[in-house]
């Protein structure tokens, strides 16, 4: 159960929050129009996001020319998005808006808390590895040539999942004892709610926000500042052909855009979560702007997993080519991780999303 969904359940069930003030927005969120619009929106998210991310995984797996580190990391992002869309969103959204209670039982109460950590963790850590790959490829091309072996790629992916699962396992231990409690009322309706103000929950979410959002984005920002400086230097010194320099610039813009997309779309939900667990929610109660902000924050969070595969298909020429005509990606094209480091020029121009040919 997510603290944001807990907030929506309280709003929709007219449970007192803050000063108990009623307003037009609070009433509207309890209307049938809002319910149907919300269910249709999230239903579309579920369908488009699940199919889109599955297509990314299948296309990359089925086409050997896409078996590069770049595309492998993209499938990691798709897996992270699928975890969120399949194991978190359906239960959280329906409990908050449709049932206005928790009908899925005690096990799912803790399981959704578990799954809600894995997806975002996999995504941000994968973006961090992507940025490091770009940093080495552009700033230290000779080192990058020998650094990204198959073993190190597998090690990086194992690290991503190890850290993500460790964080996710810690949460149910904390929530079971301190922050999230499953209970049933007199009518038999289940409730999977958080203990507002719990010091353990505050610490857990603060560490999550800093360690899995702020710090990774700061490191990514440093990497791209260095990449930008190196590209500018290459242009001034004419360190490569115009084509190579353009590919470097495009690689930087594309990957940076993906990261900015993640940062912007996940920022509101981190703000809402921190406000909720620190008990600041009582200050705002049922203020119109805050109810709207919470709703938009959740839309943006889940929407990130929907737009990512669309983003890939729009920006990757090779991916689109294999998607439209699998025959064009038949064996015979140089493949594998060695494709990203066949030469210094190729290494420096390899992108997380393939450059235009």
Q: What is the DSSP string of 292-316?
A: HHHHHHHHHHHHHHHHHHHHHHHH-
Largest CA distance in the chain: 75
Q: 16-30, 61-75, 192-206, 308-322: which has the minimum mean pLDDT? A: 16-30
Tell whether the torsion through CA atoms of 269, 274, 276 and 281 is positive or negative: negative
- The CA distance from 26 to 96, in Å, is 14
Contact 130, 223 (CB under 8 A): no
Contact 36, 68 (CB under 8 A): no
Is residue 62 over pLDDT 70? Answer: yes
Task: Give the pLDDT band (50/70/90) at residue 242.
Answer: low
Mean pLDDT of 239-267: 74
- Whether pTM > 0.75 for this model: the answer is yes
Each residue of 266-286: pLDDT tens digit? 999 888 877 766 665 566 656
Task: Write the CATH number of the domain with boundaries 3-349.
Answer: 1.20.1070.10
Tell me what pLDDT residue 257 has: 79
Contact 219, 128 (CB under 8 A): yes
Q: 170-174, 192-196, 231-235, 340-344: which has the minimum mean pLDDT? A: 340-344
SS (H, E, C) 156-186: HHHHHHHHHHHHHHHHHHHHHHHHEEEEECC
- The CA distance from 108 to 113, in Å, is 8
- The CA distance from 299 to 302, in Å, is 6
Write down the residue that tokens 């298909």 correspond to. 313
Q: 97-106, 240-249, 298-307: which has the minimum mean pLDDT? A: 240-249
Length of the chain in terms of residues written = 357
Contact 132, 223 (CB under 8 A): yes
Question: Mean pLDDT over all residues of the chain?
Answer: 75
User: What tokens does 246 get?
Assistant: 């353009």
- The CA distance from 331 to 64, in Å, is 7
């Amino acid at each position: 159960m997510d603290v944001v969904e807990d907030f929506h359940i309280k709003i929709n069930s007219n449970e007192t929050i803050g000063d108990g003030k009623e307003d037009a927005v609070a009433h509207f969120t309890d209307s049938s129009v809002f319910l149907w619009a919300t269910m249709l929106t999230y239903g579309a998210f579920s369908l488009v996001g699940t199919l889109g991310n599955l297509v990314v995984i299948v296309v990359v797996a089925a086409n050997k020319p896409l078996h590069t580190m770049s595309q492998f990391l993209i499938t990691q992002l798709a897996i992270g998005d699928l975890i969120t869309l399949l194991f978190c969103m359906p239960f959280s959204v329906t409990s908050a808006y449709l049932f206005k209670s928790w009908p899925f039982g005690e096990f799912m109460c803790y399981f959704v808390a578990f799954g809600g950590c894995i997806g975002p963790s996999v995504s941000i850590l994968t973006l961090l590895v992507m940025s490091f790959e770009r940093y080495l490829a552009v700033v230290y091309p000779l080192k990058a040539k020998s650094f990204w072996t198959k073993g190190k790629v597998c090690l990086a992916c194992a690290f991503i999942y190890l850290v993500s699962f460790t964080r996710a396992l810690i949460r149910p231990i904390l929530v079971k004892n301190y922050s999230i409690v499953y209970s049933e009322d007199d009518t038999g309706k289940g409730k999977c709610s958080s203990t507002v103000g719990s010091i353990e929950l505050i610490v857990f979410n603060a560490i999550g926000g800093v360690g899995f959002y702020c710090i990774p984005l700061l490191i990514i920002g440093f990497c791209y500042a260095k990449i930008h400086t190196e590209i500018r230097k290459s242009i001034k010194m004419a360190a490569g052909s115009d084509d190579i320099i353009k590919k470097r610039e495009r690689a930087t813009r594309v990957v940076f855009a993906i990261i900015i997309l993640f940062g912007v779309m996940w920022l509101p939900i981190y703000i809402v979560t921190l406000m909720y667990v620190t008990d600041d929610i009582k200050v705002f109660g049922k203020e119109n702007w805050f109810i709207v902000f919470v709703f938009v924050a959740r839309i943006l969070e889940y929407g990130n997993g929907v737009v990512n595969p669309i983003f890939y298909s729009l920006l990757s020429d090779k991916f689109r080519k294999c998607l439209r005509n699998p025959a064009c990606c038949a064996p015979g094209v140089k493949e594998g991780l060695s494709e990203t480091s066949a030469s210094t020029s190729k290494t420096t121009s390899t992108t997380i999303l393939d450059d235009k040919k």
